[in-house]
Amino acid sequence: MAERGERTCRQVDTGMARVFELFGKRWTGLIVSVLLDGPVHFAELRRAVPGISERMLSDRLTELSAAGLVVREVDGGPPLRVSYRLTEAGRALDSALKELGQWAETYFPDGGQCPERFRK
């Protein structure tokens, strides 16, 4: 058996670390999932994500924009309105988010508790 110091240390994949650095933050995945259906105005987006504050929504949209996943567009007025849409990179998350949703329906059907039959 190898000595403790000789063992290979497991490390998290750097790509996965980057994904969870952004998507591990509360609300981020929900915002992207709403935007998958197309451009959404700020107020509509806030209503679509219950419990999120305007400030938090604005912060998350800024982060998603900086990451290249969301584009902010100002609609000509009056009244002046701001909408957000996903970039190509953001839209590419569609299948991954749908897979996560299906996984949640199977393994967390009652709001976050994995049924006993899946705990083996």
Q: How confident is the model at residue 118 (pLDDT cuts 50, 70, 90)?
A: confident
Write the DSSP symbol of residue 118.
G
pLDDT of residue 3: 54
Residues of the chain with pLDDT > 70: what percent? Answer: 93
pLDDT of residue 25: 94
Has residue 5 been placed in a domain? Answer: no
Q: How confident is the model at residue 115 (pLDDT cuts 50, 70, 90)?
A: confident
- Calculate the CA 81 to chain-centre distance: 24
The Cα-based distances of 48 to 25, 27, 37 in angstroms read: 18, 11, 12
Q: Alpha-carbon distance 19 to 93, whole Å?
A: 11
State the CATH number of the domain containing residue 92. Answer: 1.10.10.10
Has residue 88 been placed in a domain? Answer: yes
- Model confidence over 27-67: pLDDT tens digits? 999 999 999 999 999 999 999 999 999 999 999 999 999 99
Has residue 105 been placed in a domain? Answer: yes
Helix (H) or strand (E) holding 85: strand 81-86
Q: Comparing 119 with 22, which gets the higher pLDDT?
A: 22
Residue 95 · residue 36 · CB < 8 Å: no
Q: How many domains does the chain have?
A: 1
Has residue 10 been placed in a domain? Answer: no
Structural domain harbouring 59: 30-109
The reported pTM is 0.82
- Model confidence over 67-100: pLDDT tens digits? 999 999 998 878 889 999 999 999 999 999 999 9
pLDDT of residue 6: 54
- The average pLDDT across 10-27 equals 90
Has residue 8 been placed in a domain? Answer: no
